[in-house]
Amino acid sequence: MVAGLICGCSGDDPPELELQIPPESISLSEVAWQRRPAFSPDDQDRLVAHFHTNRSLAENPLLEGEPVVYSADGDRIRYYWFTETGSDIHWMFLEFRAGAFTELGEGTGDSFATNAH
């Protein structure tokens, strides 16, 4: 499983990336998200269908591999991908609500510290 970022710096040494397992739960913009234990066949079907109609996303190398899955409010799902890019971690997520795509977010650093889009 891929993970989030903690960047430790000491003195004049360049920062070192340390990958950590994403937290079990997060709160972003007053929404409580719970990490799911696994990527399911339903998740796979949802992403395959979405990428089929959004080919530019399907070709994005930052969306390779199995994502970390979070859910909230019973009908919201977020799929997070993390990629080490030189001295930082680049993250992207796709969010679905009631089965429909609603949001794409991306950034670098700690994706769980802020709801950056």
Whole-model pTM above 0.85?
no
Tell me, yes or no, whether 117 lies in a domain.
no
Number of structural domains found in the chain: 1
Q: Which of 2, 96, 19, 1 is nearest to 51 (CA)?
A: 96
User: Mean pLDDT throughout 81-93?
Assistant: 86
Q: Which helix (H) or strand (E) holds 27?
A: strand 25-28
Confidence of residue 112 (pLDDT cuts 50, 70, 90): low
Tell me the pLDDT of the chain averaged across its residues.
80
Tell me, yes or no, whether 114 lies in a domain.
no
The pLDDT assigned to 77 comes to 96
Range of the domain at 98: 4-108
Q: Which of 25, 47, 46, 43 is nearest to 34 (CA)?
A: 25
Look at residue 57 and give its three-state secondary structure: helix
Tell me, yes or no, whether 113 lies in a domain.
no
Number of H helices, E strands in the chain: 2, 8
The Cα 35–Cα 41 span in angstroms is 16
Structural contact between residues 96 and 13, judged by C-beta atoms closer than 8 angstroms? no
∠ CA 40-44-46, rounded to 5°: 115
44 compared with 115, residue with greater pLDDT: 44
The pLDDT assigned to 94 comes to 95
Tell me, yes or no, whether 116 lies in a domain.
no
pLDDT tens for 28-83 read: 888 899 999 999 999 999 999 999 999 988 888 889 899 999 999 989 999 999 88
The pLDDT assigned to 90 comes to 87
Question: From its phi and psi, is residue 86 left (phi > 0), alpha (psi between -120 and 50) or beta?
Answer: left
